[in-house]
Amino acid sequence: MPKIIETIDQVRELVRGAKAKGLTVGLVPTMGYLHEGHMTLVKRSRLQCDLTIVSIFVNPTQFGEGEDFDRYPRDMESDSELCQREGADAIFVPSASEIYGEGFQTVVRVEELSLPLCGAHRPGHFDGVATVVLKLLNIVQPDAAFFGEKDFQQLQVIRRMVRDLDVAVEIVPVPIVREPDGLAMSSRNSYLTGEERSRALALSRSLVAVQERVNRGVSDGGELVELVRGIISQAGIEVEYVELRDPETLAEVTKIEGPTLLALAARVGKTRLIDNRVIEAA
């Protein structure tokens, strides 16, 4: 069973010991309720690093008013079993008071990359993400940290923060993991009823449809966005946004002329889901 660590001092002691032996350290930051998507991050860390630490922390500062912080799924027993199965060495499970001590008042903001997409609909979300990730990187001081591409904007925000603040860590992106029917794996999928889950397949189906349309020579961004909106709406899903963006800068794209991020967010019942695909030009 991986070692369960609850304090900053304990995890720093573990890392100091490992680095004194010349070992490399990998960090997999999560909010828990782990699934096979998270396990691909653990596998990549184990391939690349000698010691793998999984952090589990449902970060209150990245949830806005009325969001699902209180009901966000938690299952430490299952999380521990999955980490053990994949060979994680330690699980860092800090409390909110451990991460945000008394009088905490510092916020990290990545200005431009935080504004579009989810940032436009969840004000302050990426401030919370950037702040807690920087804290975790400072606490653990890993050689590499592993993030899934499903949260594509989050990945770009973290990459920018690490570059801008000269954090000595390699940020390793890991492709989206999908269920056999195409649904992107997410802890929030547990909220879905059977009927809602079936309807949610329209999200990934719309992404495939866009690539197929581009392969046939369509490059107009407006037409492609409307295609996605139509497929999702026909499934009875409330569209929050569908946008084409540059994969690096997240600048808006109106025509497919090279690799282009197609990102979407939608509500299936009460559950907010996100998905994306990098569309390749024909």
pLDDT one-digit tens code per residue, 11-66? 999 999 999 999 999 999 999 999 999 999 999 999 999 999 999 999 999 999 99
Decide if 125 is catalytic.
Answer: no
What residue spans in the chain does CATH classification 3.30.1300.10 cover? 187-276
Low-confidence ranges of the chain (pLDDT < 50): none
Distances (CA, A) of 237 to 129, 203, 208: 27, 9, 17
Domain 187-276 has CATH 2.40.50.200: no
Distance, in Å, from the CA atom of 37 to the CA atom of 56, rounded to the nearest integer, reads: 15
What residue spans in the chain does CATH classification 3.40.50.620 cover? 3-174
pLDDT at 22: 98
pLDDT at 152: 98
- For 3-174, CATH number out of 3.40.50.620, 3.40.50.300, 1.10.287.1080, 3.30.70.141 equals 3.40.50.620
pLDDT (tens digit, 9 = 90+) per residue, 66-81?
A: 999 999 999 999 999 9
